[in-house]
Amino acid sequence: MSKADKKKVLARALKISKQFYGFDPRSIHTINIDWPDALVCIGAAAQINYISDKFDGVIREYFHEFEKPAVVFVAESPQKDGSNLIIIHGKFKIKPEGITG
């Protein structure tokens, strides 16, 4: 990906973040992903739970039940930093009102 493309992607991500949270991101992190040759499907996600202080700065737990279960994939081994790569693949979108689909 070119430097110009990365700038466009970052600008779009920042816009979506501001719409979702209601304020500018407090920080931006770069993560380095060593993409594996293969991912393992471990099942389907019926819902996603997350904790956020979106909109008003008060930390709350949110959940979204998927209309159609999303498929969960994991890498067979951890990343170099010890973290795990998990990908949720489904037909949902992140919108200002939350996760839809």
Task: Tell me the pLDDT tens digit for each residue of 48-62.
Answer: 998 988 878 889 998
**Cα-trace Rg, the chain:** 16
Spatial CA neighbour of 53 closest among 27, 21, 25, 29: 21
Which pTM was predicted?
Answer: 0.70
Confidence label for 101 from pLDDT (cuts 50, 70 and 90) = confident
Enumerate residues 6+ apart whose C-beta is below 8 A from 35: none
Whether the CB-CB separation of 59 and 52 falls below 8 Å is answered with yes
Instruction: Break the chain into its structural domains and give their ranges.
Output: 30-100
In the numeric block, which tokens belong to residue 10? Answer: 């970052």
Q: What is the DSSP letter of 83?
A: -
Mean of all residue pLDDT scores within the chain: 88
The predicted-structure confidence for 6-18, as pLDDT tens digits, reads as follows 899 889 888 888 8
* pLDDT at residue 32 greater than cutoff 80: yes
